[in-house]
Structure 1
Amino acid sequence: MTIAHDTVALDLTATDGCTALLPGPGDVLAELAARLPAARRRPAALLVLGLLRRDDTWPTPAPALDATTRLVAASLRGDDWIGRSGPAEFAVLVGGDPADADAVALRLAAGVGALGHPGLGAGVGIAVLEEGLPAREVLRRATLCLTTARSSGAGSVVRYRGVR
Protein backbone atom coordinates (compact mmCIF):
# COMPACT_ATOMS: atom_id res chain seq x y z
CA MET A 1 0.00 0.00 0.00
CA THR A 2 1.54 3.29 -1.08
CA ILE A 3 0.22 6.53 0.29
CA ALA A 4 1.24 9.58 -1.68
CA HIS A 5 1.73 13.04 -0.24
CA ASP A 6 -1.47 14.99 -0.77
CA THR A 7 -1.44 18.77 -1.02
CA VAL A 8 -5.10 18.97 0.02
CA ALA A 9 -5.57 20.35 3.55
CA LEU A 10 -6.33 17.53 5.98
CA ASP A 11 -8.25 17.75 9.23
CA LEU A 12 -5.71 16.05 11.48
CA THR A 13 -8.15 16.04 14.39
CA ALA A 14 -10.82 13.96 12.65
CA THR A 15 -11.62 10.51 14.00
CA ASP A 16 -12.60 8.11 11.28
CA GLY A 17 -10.82 4.86 12.07
CA CYS A 18 -8.25 5.34 9.31
CA THR A 19 -5.56 3.68 11.44
CA ALA A 20 -7.42 0.36 11.18
CA LEU A 21 -6.98 0.50 7.40
CA LEU A 22 -3.19 0.36 7.57
CA PRO A 23 -1.34 -2.85 6.75
CA GLY A 24 -0.38 -4.83 9.87
CA PRO A 25 2.88 -6.30 11.19
CA GLY A 26 2.89 -9.24 8.76
CA ASP A 27 2.49 -6.85 5.85
CA VAL A 28 5.36 -4.73 7.20
CA LEU A 29 7.66 -7.77 7.08
CA ALA A 30 6.45 -8.67 3.57
CA GLU A 31 7.06 -5.14 2.28
CA LEU A 32 10.52 -5.11 3.86
CA ALA A 33 11.35 -8.48 2.29
CA ALA A 34 10.24 -7.16 -1.12
CA ARG A 35 12.41 -4.02 -0.84
CA LEU A 36 15.57 -5.52 0.65
CA PRO A 37 16.97 -7.08 -2.57
CA ALA A 38 17.09 -3.63 -4.19
CA ALA A 39 18.59 -1.85 -1.16
CA ARG A 40 21.96 -1.28 -2.82
CA ARG A 41 20.43 0.29 -5.95
CA ARG A 42 17.61 2.12 -4.18
CA PRO A 43 18.66 3.18 -0.66
CA ALA A 44 15.87 3.16 1.89
CA ALA A 45 15.26 3.00 5.62
CA LEU A 46 12.64 1.71 8.00
CA LEU A 47 11.36 4.20 10.55
CA VAL A 48 9.34 2.90 13.48
CA LEU A 49 7.45 5.79 15.05
CA GLY A 50 6.19 4.99 18.52
CA LEU A 51 3.71 7.13 20.41
CA LEU A 52 4.55 8.26 23.93
CA ARG A 53 1.97 9.38 26.48
CA ARG A 54 2.67 11.22 29.68
CA ASP A 55 -0.47 9.86 31.35
CA ASP A 56 0.73 6.31 30.57
CA THR A 57 -2.79 4.92 30.13
CA TRP A 58 -3.65 2.15 27.73
CA PRO A 59 -4.79 1.99 25.01
CA THR A 60 -3.91 5.13 23.09
CA PRO A 61 -7.18 6.91 22.26
CA ALA A 62 -8.50 6.45 18.73
CA PRO A 63 -8.45 10.20 17.98
CA ALA A 64 -4.71 10.31 18.72
CA LEU A 65 -4.04 7.26 16.52
CA ASP A 66 -6.13 8.66 13.66
CA ALA A 67 -4.47 12.07 13.86
CA THR A 68 -1.04 10.43 13.81
CA THR A 69 -2.01 8.26 10.84
CA ARG A 70 -3.16 11.31 8.93
CA LEU A 71 -0.01 13.23 9.82
CA VAL A 72 2.30 10.42 8.68
CA ALA A 73 0.33 9.80 5.47
CA ALA A 74 0.33 13.50 4.60
CA SER A 75 4.10 13.71 5.20
CA LEU A 76 5.19 10.91 2.88
CA ARG A 77 6.17 10.89 -0.77
CA GLY A 78 4.75 8.66 -3.50
CA ASP A 79 7.29 5.83 -3.08
CA ASP A 80 7.12 5.80 0.72
CA TRP A 81 5.01 3.22 2.58
CA ILE A 82 3.21 3.16 5.92
CA GLY A 83 1.94 0.27 8.03
CA ARG A 84 1.41 -0.65 11.68
CA SER A 85 4.06 -2.56 13.60
CA GLY A 86 2.30 -2.43 16.97
CA PRO A 87 -0.71 -0.98 18.79
CA ALA A 88 0.88 2.50 19.02
CA GLU A 89 3.66 2.07 16.45
CA PHE A 90 3.84 3.01 12.80
CA ALA A 91 6.31 1.43 10.36
CA VAL A 92 7.36 3.83 7.63
CA LEU A 93 9.56 2.85 4.70
CA VAL A 94 11.24 5.88 3.13
CA GLY A 95 13.50 6.03 0.13
CA GLY A 96 16.79 7.91 0.19
CA ASP A 97 19.99 7.98 2.17
CA PRO A 98 20.24 7.86 5.98
CA ALA A 99 20.26 11.67 6.23
CA ASP A 100 16.89 11.74 4.44
CA ALA A 101 15.52 9.19 6.91
CA ASP A 102 16.79 11.28 9.83
CA ALA A 103 15.08 14.39 8.44
CA VAL A 104 11.76 12.59 7.92
CA ALA A 105 11.94 11.06 11.41
CA LEU A 106 12.61 14.42 13.08
CA ARG A 107 9.75 16.02 11.14
CA LEU A 108 7.32 13.23 12.11
CA ALA A 109 8.32 13.24 15.79
CA ALA A 110 7.88 17.01 15.98
CA GLY A 111 4.59 16.80 14.08
CA VAL A 112 3.09 14.34 16.56
CA GLY A 113 3.96 16.70 19.40
CA ALA A 114 2.20 19.53 17.58
CA LEU A 115 -1.06 17.63 17.02
CA GLY A 116 -2.63 19.16 20.10
CA HIS A 117 -3.32 15.96 22.05
CA PRO A 118 -2.21 16.70 25.63
CA GLY A 119 0.75 14.61 26.72
CA LEU A 120 1.17 12.94 23.31
CA GLY A 121 4.63 12.70 21.79
CA ALA A 122 6.64 10.31 19.67
CA GLY A 123 10.05 8.73 19.40
CA VAL A 124 11.46 7.21 16.22
CA GLY A 125 13.85 4.32 15.61
CA ILE A 126 15.57 4.03 12.23
CA ALA A 127 17.23 1.08 10.51
CA VAL A 128 18.78 1.42 7.06
CA LEU A 129 17.87 -1.36 4.64
CA GLU A 130 20.90 -3.46 3.75
CA GLU A 131 20.94 -6.08 1.02
CA GLY A 132 21.29 -9.54 2.53
CA LEU A 133 19.60 -8.74 5.84
CA PRO A 134 16.40 -10.58 6.69
CA ALA A 135 13.30 -8.43 7.09
CA ARG A 136 12.95 -9.44 10.76
CA GLU A 137 16.45 -8.16 11.50
CA VAL A 138 15.71 -4.76 9.96
CA LEU A 139 12.52 -4.53 12.03
CA ARG A 140 14.41 -5.65 15.15
CA ARG A 141 17.03 -2.96 14.66
CA ALA A 142 14.45 -0.23 14.17
CA THR A 143 12.46 -1.41 17.18
CA LEU A 144 15.59 -1.53 19.33
CA CYS A 145 16.33 2.08 18.35
CA LEU A 146 12.71 3.04 19.08
CA THR A 147 13.08 1.64 22.59
CA THR A 148 16.13 3.84 23.12
CA ALA A 149 14.35 6.86 21.62
CA ARG A 150 11.32 6.32 23.87
CA SER A 151 13.57 6.21 26.94
CA SER A 152 15.11 9.52 25.84
CA GLY A 153 11.70 11.19 25.61
CA ALA A 154 9.33 12.71 23.09
CA GLY A 155 10.94 14.03 19.93
CA SER A 156 13.93 11.66 20.12
CA VAL A 157 15.25 9.94 17.02
CA VAL A 158 17.81 7.10 17.13
CA ARG A 159 19.33 5.46 14.05
CA TYR A 160 20.91 1.99 14.20
CA ARG A 161 24.64 2.28 13.61
CA GLY A 162 25.79 -1.27 14.34
CA VAL A 163 27.75 -2.61 17.24
CA ARG A 164 30.30 -0.36 18.88
Structure 2
Amino acid sequence: MLPNVRPLAAPADVTTLLPSREALLEHLAERLPLTVRTSATLMVVGLLRGDDGWPTAQSTLAEVTTLLARSLRGGDYLAKSGPGEFAVVLSGPAEAAAAAAERLVTTIGELGIEGLTAAAGIAALGPGLTETEVLRRGLASLTAARRAGAGTVIRHRLPY
Protein backbone atom coordinates (compact mmCIF):
# COMPACT_ATOMS: atom_id res chain seq x y z
CA MET A 1 0.00 0.00 0.00
CA LEU A 2 1.23 3.49 -0.82
CA PRO A 3 2.01 5.85 2.06
CA ASN A 4 -0.74 8.38 2.86
CA VAL A 5 -3.25 6.52 0.70
CA ARG A 6 -6.19 5.01 2.53
CA PRO A 7 -8.21 2.23 0.93
CA LEU A 8 -11.79 3.13 0.16
CA ALA A 9 -14.08 2.16 3.03
CA ALA A 10 -16.93 1.57 0.61
CA PRO A 11 -16.02 0.99 -3.03
CA ALA A 12 -18.04 2.19 -5.96
CA ASP A 13 -20.41 -0.02 -7.92
CA VAL A 14 -18.29 -1.40 -10.78
CA THR A 15 -20.99 -0.99 -13.44
CA THR A 16 -22.21 2.55 -12.75
CA LEU A 17 -19.23 3.91 -10.78
CA LEU A 18 -21.75 5.25 -8.26
CA PRO A 19 -21.14 4.86 -4.55
CA SER A 20 -22.03 1.36 -3.36
CA ARG A 21 -24.66 0.22 -0.88
CA GLU A 22 -21.99 0.32 1.85
CA ALA A 23 -21.19 3.93 0.98
CA LEU A 24 -24.91 4.72 1.06
CA LEU A 25 -25.17 3.30 4.58
CA GLU A 26 -22.17 5.40 5.64
CA HIS A 27 -23.78 8.51 4.16
CA LEU A 28 -27.07 7.80 5.92
CA ALA A 29 -25.23 7.33 9.23
CA GLU A 30 -23.59 10.75 8.77
CA ARG A 31 -26.84 12.41 7.68
CA LEU A 32 -29.21 11.02 10.34
CA PRO A 33 -27.96 13.20 13.25
CA LEU A 34 -28.56 16.30 11.10
CA THR A 35 -32.27 15.52 10.78
CA VAL A 36 -32.84 17.16 14.16
CA ARG A 37 -32.50 20.49 12.28
CA THR A 38 -33.26 19.69 8.64
CA SER A 39 -35.46 17.03 7.07
CA ALA A 40 -34.11 14.49 4.62
CA THR A 41 -35.60 11.59 2.70
CA LEU A 42 -34.36 8.39 1.08
CA MET A 43 -35.77 7.59 -2.36
CA VAL A 44 -35.08 4.13 -3.80
CA VAL A 45 -35.79 3.84 -7.53
CA GLY A 46 -36.13 0.33 -8.91
CA LEU A 47 -36.05 -0.56 -12.58
CA LEU A 48 -38.71 -2.87 -13.97
CA ARG A 49 -38.38 -4.84 -17.18
CA GLY A 50 -41.45 -6.00 -19.06
CA ASP A 51 -39.54 -8.92 -20.55
CA ASP A 52 -37.87 -10.04 -17.29
CA GLY A 53 -34.60 -9.52 -19.16
CA TRP A 54 -32.39 -9.38 -16.08
CA PRO A 55 -29.69 -8.49 -15.58
CA THR A 56 -30.25 -5.04 -17.00
CA ALA A 57 -27.81 -4.14 -19.76
CA GLN A 58 -24.87 -1.93 -18.79
CA SER A 59 -25.91 0.64 -21.40
CA THR A 60 -29.35 0.88 -19.78
CA LEU A 61 -27.82 1.32 -16.33
CA ALA A 62 -25.55 4.03 -17.73
CA GLU A 63 -28.51 5.90 -19.26
CA VAL A 64 -30.52 5.72 -16.04
CA THR A 65 -27.49 6.79 -13.99
CA THR A 66 -27.03 9.83 -16.24
CA LEU A 67 -30.73 10.71 -16.04
CA LEU A 68 -30.77 10.48 -12.25
CA ALA A 69 -27.53 12.44 -11.84
CA ARG A 70 -28.82 15.25 -14.07
CA SER A 71 -32.11 15.39 -12.17
CA LEU A 72 -30.57 15.96 -8.74
CA ARG A 73 -29.72 19.11 -6.85
CA GLY A 74 -26.21 19.87 -5.62
CA GLY A 75 -26.69 18.53 -2.08
CA ASP A 76 -28.44 15.31 -3.10
CA TYR A 77 -26.59 11.99 -2.83
CA LEU A 78 -26.91 9.27 -5.49
CA ALA A 79 -25.78 5.67 -4.94
CA LYS A 80 -26.39 2.18 -6.31
CA SER A 81 -28.35 0.25 -3.69
CA GLY A 82 -28.76 -3.08 -5.46
CA PRO A 83 -29.23 -4.76 -8.83
CA GLY A 84 -31.46 -2.47 -10.85
CA GLU A 85 -31.84 -0.12 -7.86
CA PHE A 86 -30.67 3.41 -7.21
CA ALA A 87 -30.85 5.30 -3.92
CA VAL A 88 -31.06 9.07 -3.57
CA VAL A 89 -30.79 10.96 -0.29
CA LEU A 90 -32.63 14.25 -0.72
CA SER A 91 -32.83 17.28 1.52
CA GLY A 92 -36.40 18.14 2.41
CA PRO A 93 -39.62 16.44 3.42
CA ALA A 94 -40.92 13.10 2.15
CA GLU A 95 -43.73 14.85 0.25
CA ALA A 96 -41.20 16.66 -1.95
CA ALA A 97 -39.23 13.45 -2.47
CA ALA A 98 -42.41 11.63 -3.51
CA ALA A 99 -43.14 14.32 -6.11
CA ALA A 100 -39.56 14.05 -7.41
CA ALA A 101 -39.84 10.25 -7.53
CA GLU A 102 -43.05 10.46 -9.56
CA ARG A 103 -41.30 12.67 -12.11
CA LEU A 104 -38.26 10.35 -12.26
CA VAL A 105 -40.17 7.09 -12.71
CA THR A 106 -42.20 8.72 -15.49
CA THR A 107 -39.03 10.00 -17.17
CA ILE A 108 -37.33 6.58 -16.94
CA GLY A 109 -40.34 5.05 -18.68
CA GLU A 110 -39.98 7.65 -21.44
CA LEU A 111 -36.29 6.90 -22.15
CA GLY A 112 -37.35 4.81 -25.13
CA ILE A 113 -35.77 1.58 -23.89
CA GLU A 114 -38.19 -1.20 -24.78
CA GLY A 115 -39.89 -2.71 -21.74
CA LEU A 116 -38.09 -0.48 -19.22
CA THR A 117 -40.16 1.22 -16.52
CA ALA A 118 -39.56 2.08 -12.88
CA ALA A 119 -41.14 2.30 -9.45
CA ALA A 120 -39.92 3.98 -6.26
CA GLY A 121 -40.05 3.73 -2.50
CA ILE A 122 -39.72 6.69 -0.12
CA ALA A 123 -38.58 6.69 3.53
CA ALA A 124 -38.04 9.74 5.72
CA LEU A 125 -34.86 10.03 7.77
CA GLY A 126 -35.41 10.97 11.37
CA PRO A 127 -33.89 11.13 14.84
CA GLY A 128 -33.72 7.77 16.55
CA LEU A 129 -33.53 5.78 13.31
CA THR A 130 -30.50 3.81 12.19
CA GLU A 131 -29.15 3.86 8.66
CA THR A 132 -30.09 0.19 8.32
CA GLU A 133 -33.69 0.89 9.35
CA VAL A 134 -34.02 3.80 6.91
CA LEU A 135 -32.73 1.62 4.07
CA ARG A 136 -35.01 -1.25 5.13
CA ARG A 137 -38.02 1.09 5.03
CA GLY A 138 -37.04 2.45 1.63
CA LEU A 139 -36.56 -1.04 0.17
CA ALA A 140 -39.83 -2.30 1.68
CA SER A 141 -41.64 0.64 0.07
CA LEU A 142 -39.91 -0.09 -3.25
CA THR A 143 -40.96 -3.75 -3.05
CA ALA A 144 -44.59 -2.69 -2.53
CA ALA A 145 -44.32 -0.19 -5.40
CA ARG A 146 -42.88 -2.84 -7.73
CA ARG A 147 -45.75 -5.17 -6.89
CA ALA A 148 -48.24 -2.39 -7.65
CA GLY A 149 -46.64 -1.83 -11.05
CA ALA A 150 -44.79 0.58 -13.26
CA GLY A 151 -44.86 4.25 -12.33
CA THR A 152 -45.87 3.58 -8.73
CA VAL A 153 -44.33 5.52 -5.83
CA ILE A 154 -45.00 4.33 -2.29
CA ARG A 155 -44.04 6.26 0.81
CA HIS A 156 -43.25 4.38 4.02
CA ARG A 157 -45.74 5.13 6.76
CA LEU A 158 -45.86 3.76 10.26
CA PRO A 159 -49.13 2.04 11.18
CA TYR A 160 -51.37 4.03 13.48
What TM-score, normalized to structure 2? 0.89
Alignment of 1:1-164 (within 5 A): 19-164=15-160
Deviations 1:100-144 (A, max 9, x none): 111111111111001110110000000000111000000000000
Superposition RMSD on alpha carbons, in Å? 1.4
Q: Which structure has the larger Rg over C-alpha atoms?
A: 2
* 3-state DSSP of counterpart to 1:46: strand
5+ residue gaps, structure 2, are 1-12
Count of aligned positions: 148
Q: Aligned partners of 1:140, 1:97: CA distance in 2, in Å? A: 18
Deviations 1:39-91 (A, max 9, x none): 12110100000000000022101111111101100000001010010011001
* 3-state DSSP of counterpart to 1:23: coil
What TM-score, normalized to structure 1? 0.87
Q: Aligned partners of 1:79, 1:40: CA distance in 2, in Å? A: 17
Q: Aligned partners of 1:26, 1:123: CA distance in 2, in Å? A: 22
